Chain A
């Protein structure tokens, strides 16, 4: 069964979404706040590659700030995570920021079950394809970085994303990740230090 992280601060809506997502066949991990979501992302025994995220979260449920920051941290924590944003904070600038931070899709509340189901199905297809590519020794990634910072910085952002992604795929097994990347362990440690990558505390 596919696992999915649901982050929604409205308890009644969260409860109903849990039921609906279970009906769609997902194993649901739910959180009502950014802190709960981060704890799940770092400590959950069940691995999940999909998330449905509300942006209006405590301590400021009427603003997208906490949700966007959580999105950034979730993607940093799990680079392959596909996040479908489902929010009432639907200003174009918020959508742009969310997509820039790595959101897979952006849906406005109220969204029908069918739309959410389709968005999750699309995300699932991309995940499968990416896993296949990974098995074939390839990585697909999307990057958001200012062009004005130049080719070198863009390249470094890609390096960081790749290292994070492979480490996450290998459950932070450095030896395995180094093999996958064609690097020595020392070289991988160098990159980890360079990009400030630390093993998530369990």
Chain B
């Protein structure tokens, strides 16, 4: 009887112990999850100011067991060293903890190096004094923090590349427009300077007045490029006489496709006919990019540059299908409209991306499908209701 009683008590005690342990573990995991959420919430802050955010959110890191953290290296040409919390030893148990690159785990120190063009940083997390689940949680938190730092650094580099590229694009655009402006000013100055009769002077003044709207339009376009850093110069939009550049006009598709074929030395096998009220600049961009690809890839593969073009006029839209069934696509179909997806070494890979963006901004659609060994690209231009 006593034995049974003792066994029951033992079971109860064991059960209570298990229950308490489970409750304790549950509490720990919940607290850890909350703190990990706080760490993940730092993502945006890290993207904005990587090193400053780590200092600012030292407490959040310490709550996750990352009491001791330091980093050193080169930050855009400036040497940096920062330590948060207790000093991390250079040697643990006589072994150098910073001898190799990449992540290195020891019981005491976790280390990670990051290298980009202008950034070389080495981060170390000290784990001294952490035992059991706190040690494991701290290691997990440190690995998440390293992944976030890597993401922030990669995003920073991408943003930098995009900004430099944008600036270069605006620079090229401005150079083109500035040259034209300089040419225009020189012509106007010379013509007025050489007008030696009142009649000639008046004729030139009238010419100047008739061109004043275009001059004002150009000034606006240049001001836009100079003052707005995110402004996108259109690659295919010349300075037009129209007040609304790129406005719709009636376009004879056969004529435009034929001429574009001549320009790109692509033999066009045209089926059907059609005219559409659409943006001439958008059509030129689409034709130019599709046919330049056909031309380039054909020549690279020593094949005749030919393209079958089918024009179908439906009630709601005009469909122009470009077919190259025997011209193998150099990149996967799903990547066709992706920026920088390019097969050629010198190609920038922006052509089809821009063609699609341009078509969409003018209210049309550009889609691609596999066709035998090649591809079919279809432009859907909506019909304007009269």
Contact = CB atoms under 8 A, between A and B. Distances in A.
B215 A12 contact: yes
Contacts of B260: 35
Contact of B259 (A20, A38, A111): A38
Nearest to A90: B179
A73 B263 contact: yes
| A interface majority secondary structure | helix
A45 B187 CA distance: 29
A128 interface: no
A88 interface: yes
Given A58-B284, A110-B186, A19 B239 contact: no
A35 B32 CA distance: 67
B290 to A, nearest CB: 12
A113 to B, nearest CB: 5
A60 B207 CA distance: 28
B268 interface: no
A88 B263 contact: no
B187 A16 contact: yes
Interface in A3-21: 9-13, 15-17, 19-20
Given A59-B285, A109-B182, A110-B182, A15 B211 contact: yes
Nearest to B280: A33
Interface string B210-253: 11001101100000000000000101111111000000000000
Interface in B166-214: 172-173, 175-177, 179-180, 182-188, 190-191, 194, 204, 207, 210-211, 214
B285 A56 contact: no
B263 A66 contact: yes
B68 interface: no
Interface residues of B, number: 43
A16 B239 CA distance: 14
Contact of A59 (B180, B183, B204, B284): B284
A59 B235 contact: yes
B262 interface: yes
A11 B238 contact: yes
Nearest to B193: A113
A88 B175 contact: yes
B288 interface: yes
B281 interface: yes
B183 A13 contact: yes
A69 B238 contact: no
Contacts of A15: 207, 210-211, 214
Contacts of B215: 12
Contacts of B218: 10, 12
**Which 3 A-B residue pairs are closest in the complex by CB-CB distance?**
A88-B179, A59-B236, A12-B214
17 contacts: A11-B239, A11-B241, A12-B217, A13-B184, A13-B187, A15-B214, A33-B238, A35-B284, A59-B236, A59-B281, A60-B235, A62-B175, A69-B264, A88-B175, A109-B183, A110-B182, A110-B186
